[in-house]
Every structure is written in C-alpha cells, then in structure tokens.
C-alpha cells in the first residue's frame, strides 16, 4: 500500500519536528512530565540535524545554557512543565533583558507545585505573562492541535529571532500527548526567519542600539565567536551593553525593550474567529479547551443557537483588538472557558466593560473541560 502525505504525530513530537524545521541547533533541558517526549525526541533527532542536545543538572542551568547557546548564534530551545517553568523564570527574565532569542516550551500540568504531573491544566497563563519580574513584554503562543504544535513552534522561533526575545510555547498536557493526523508543510512552503546580524565594522557595533535594525527597536545581534566583542548583562545597560544607572538611558532602554513588542501587536497577535459573524454568544477559549469549545459551538448551532468562538492563538500579547471587534457587535455574553480558576477572565472583562456580561467555565480536576459543560453555559446565557 502507498502511504499518503499525512503522518500520525504526538503534540510533543510535532514541537520537535517544528523546531528542527525552524533551524533548532541547541536544546538544553531537564525532562519533566508531560513535556518529556520533547527532550527525548530532541536527543534522538537533533544530532542528525547538526545540533546539540544536553541534559543539564536542573531547569535553571538549562535556561542559562539556552541563553548562552543563542548568543553564540544557535537557535535554542528548552521544554518544561509548571515546576520547571517557575525555575526558568530568572533566566527567562535575563533573556528578555539581554534580548536573547529563544523558545521556552511549557506543557502545562496541574499545579501549584508538583500538582498532578500527568493531568492537564492551563494554570500557567499568568505565570507566562508575569513570571519574570520587572516591566517586560512577552510573546506566548497557544496551540490547540498537533498541526499547530508544529506550525506555532516554527512561528515561535521566527518571532524570537526577528524580535530578539524569548517566546513561550504554552501548551497543555492534552495537546502535548495527543496523537493526531497531520500533513507537515514541505521545506519550500515553510517560512523560516533568521536574526538580523550587524553590518557595521567590529569596533562600532552597539548590541543594544536605540535606532538600528529592520524592525524599529530591535538592534541586530552578533554571534559570539564571529569577531564582534560585546557585553550582555541583566543589569540595566546602555547601547554598548555595559551597566548604567543613568536614569535617562535606563528609561529609554526599558521603553525600547517593551515597545519593540507592544508597538507590533498587529503583526504578533493571531486569533481564530469561528462563527463570530452573527454570534450572540461568544466563547473565548484557547489550547485544548478550544477543541471542546468548537464542539460546543457546533452543537449549539445545530440547536439553532447563534454561538461562536474567539480563540487567541497568541495568548500574549493579549488579543485586545479581536475582543473589541466582538464587543462592537454587542453579544449577549462572552463565556471564558479555561482549565484554571479564571486567569483570563479579568483581561476579557477589562475589554468588555459593563456592556457585555462575562461568564466563566472553569475546571481544576486535571481533566479537559467537556463540550457539554460549555454548551450548558451557552444555553444559560442565551
């Protein structure tokens, strides 16, 4: 029998396939359920793709190794789950501040602490946003299928490289462990982006220049070992990368650091709009929960209820514009469904204001929210 173009892939495997397709050359990690297959597959496949896999002594060191490898020019990634994600935050903040491109995968499980290692949750949404201290922007993408685990991993690398920033791939256990039929794009179909390198003479290179680069506010990044000597620190620094306490420079540099993301939201924030045109009830759901929400919307439509779904594919920055569009149509309610106690409810309420009621559907049991649970909320709201 002749095989077709499709493959059966697990979400975690698809992340590795996507990472290698995007040019991953360095993985450092400390395997943790339910992300372990990502480390396993990287160990198996990365050497053959010309890359390096290293299992570090812990999560802190693995995030530090990722920063180092990226500064040496290698596209770098680590993968973890809640407890490890907490440990990575310090060096994740360092990557934000040092403007070091990298991808951090968090396959979410039930927390806090070690929680329920093999059970799904979406409890790290706010940790993804604010886990690192200090004012900063972060980009986090949230796949809801195995196909997206692949495509958003590629996207995560592209954003990381283009914007010189860490990008979080915020999965959940359901998608991480789900095996699904996927058709992977060919090399020709894939868009793979590379970081911009400096073109100035070695002595003139400013790694944190205010006004350089193809994207405003994103200075080109040299690779250690290619001749450019430069300094990277977590301390607030000037254009040359050396620490400074100069208030004017600090203010300018920190604004640039935030604005390179916040002023490009239009390019960065992707959503899926499902039956939103005439929707009277809008379900706001992401990750695996969006699979249940899609069924709930289909079932509601079959019963004559005009339901729709807004799915933030990019969970951070927040899909404010898409929600404003929803608000402009004055739906009867927005239902926020998530496997946590309602971490995205306040951001949604902030946009909806007093004019559109916001209803919560939450689950902490380590189980995917069932379509019926969302459907009954839809029926109550109509």
Partner 1 sequence: MRLELRLAGEGGQGLITAGIILAEACAEYTDLNVVQTQSYGPESRGGASRADVIISSHEIDYPQVKKPDVLIVLAQEACDKYLPTVKDGGTVIIDTTYVKPVPEAQSQRVKVIEFPVSAKARELGREIVANIVALGLLVETTGIVPKDAVIAAILDRVPKGTEELNKQAFAAGVEAAKAL
Q: How far is CA 183 from CA 82, 147, 155, 244, in A?
A: 30, 8, 17, 50
1 binds partner 1 (CB under 8 A): yes
Report the residue number, 37 or 239, with the smaller CB distance to partner 1.
37
**Residue of 286, 269, 279, 300 lying closest to 374 (CA atoms):** 300
Q: How far is the CB of 6 from partner 1 (least distance, A)?
A: 5
Cβ atoms of 121 and 131 within 8 Å: the answer is: no
Q: Which residues contact 84 (CB under 8 A, 6 or more apart)?
A: 30, 32, 35, 59
294 binds partner 1 (CB under 8 A): yes
332 binds partner 1 (CB under 8 A): no
In 3-state terms, what secondary structure has residue 196? coil
The contact pattern for partner 1, residues 119-148, with x = CB under 8 A and - = no contact, is x-----------------------------
In 3-state terms, what secondary structure has residue 329? coil
- Show the tokens assigned to 39: 């480390």
Report the residue number, 233 or 367, with the smaller CB distance to partner 1.
367
Report the residue number, 119 or 151, with the smaller CB distance to partner 1.
119
Report the residue number, 33 or 86, with the smaller CB distance to partner 1.
33
Q: Which stretch binds partner 1 (CB under 8 A): 154-162, 190-198, 333-341, 368-376?
A: 368-376
Residue count, binding to partner 1 (CB under 8 A): 26
- Show the tokens assigned to 288: 């695996």
Q: Which stretch binds partner 1 (CB under 8 A): 40-48, 213-221, 344-352, 367-375?
A: 367-375
114 binds partner 1 (CB under 8 A): no
Q: How far is the CB of 291 from partner 1 (least distance, A)?
A: 5
Helix axes 345-352, 320-328, angle to 10 degrees: 50
What DSSP state is assigned to residue 366?
S
Cβ atoms of 272 and 282 within 8 Å: the answer is: no
33 binds partner 1 (CB under 8 A): yes
In 3-state terms, what secondary structure has residue 42? helix
Cβ atoms of 291 and 276 within 8 Å: the answer is: no
The single residue among 179, 252, 327, 332 that binds partner 1, judged by CB under 8 A, is 179
291 binds partner 1 (CB under 8 A): yes
Q: How far is the CB of 371 from partner 1 (least distance, A)?
A: 5
Cβ atoms of 323 and 352 within 8 Å: the answer is: yes
Helix axes 11-21, 146-163, angle to 10 degrees: 40
Q: Which stretch binds partner 1 (CB under 8 A): 54-62, 151-159, 291-299, 313-321?
A: 291-299
The single residue among 64, 160, 174, 310 that binds partner 1, judged by CB under 8 A, is 174
Which residues bind to partner 1, rule: CB under 8 A?
1, 3-4, 6-8, 33-34, 117-119, 174, 177-181, 288, 291-292, 294-295, 298, 368, 370-371
């Amino acid at each position: 029998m002749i095989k077709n173009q499709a493959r059966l892939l697990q979400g975690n495997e698809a992340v590795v396939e996507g990472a290698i397709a995007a040019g991953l050359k360095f993985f450092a990690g400390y395997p943790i359920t339910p992300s372990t297959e990502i480390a396993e597959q990287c160990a198996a496949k990365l050497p053959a793709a010309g890359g390096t896999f290293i299992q570090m002594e812990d999560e802190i060191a693995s995030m530090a190794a990722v920063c180092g490898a990226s500064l040496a020019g290698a596209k770098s990634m680590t993968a973890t789950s809640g407890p490890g994600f907490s440990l990575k935050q310090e060096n994740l903040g360092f990557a934000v501040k040092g403007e070091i491109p990298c991808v951090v995968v968090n396959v979410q499980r039930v927390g806090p602490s070690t929680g329920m290692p093999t059970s799904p949750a979406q409890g790290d949404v706010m940790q993804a946003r604010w886990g690192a201290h200090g004012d900063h922007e972060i980009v986090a993408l949230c796949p809801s299928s195995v196909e997206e685990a692949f495509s958003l991993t590629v996207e995560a690398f592209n954003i990381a490289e283009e914007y010189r920033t860490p990008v979080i791939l915020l999965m959940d256990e359901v998608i991480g462990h789900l095996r699904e039929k996927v058709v992977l794009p060919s090399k020709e179909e894939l868009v793979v982006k590379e970081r911009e390198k400096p073109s100035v003479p070695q002595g003139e290179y400013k790694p944190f220049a205010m006004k350089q680069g193809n994207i405003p506010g994103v200075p080109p990044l040299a690779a250690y070992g290619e001749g450019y000597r430069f300094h990277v620190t977590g301390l607030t620094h000037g254009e040359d990368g050396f620490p400074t306490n100069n208030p004017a420079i600090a203010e300018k540099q920190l604004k640039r650091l935030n604005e390179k993301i916040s002023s490009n939201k239009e390019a960065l924030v992707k959503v899926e709009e499902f039956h939103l045109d005439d929707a009277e009830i809008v379900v706001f759901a992401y990750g695996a929960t969006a699979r249940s929400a899609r069924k709930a919307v289909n079932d509601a439509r079959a019963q004559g209820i005009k339901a729709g779904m807004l799915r933030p594919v990019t969970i951070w920055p927040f899909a404010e514009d898409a929600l404003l569009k929803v608000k402009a149509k004055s739906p009867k309610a927005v239902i926020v469904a998530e496997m946590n106690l309602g971490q995205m409810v306040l951001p949604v309420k902030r946009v909806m204001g007093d004019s559109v009621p916001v209803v919560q559907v939450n689950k902490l049991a380590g189980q995917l929210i069932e379509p019926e649970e969302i459907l009954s909320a839809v029926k109550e709201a109509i």
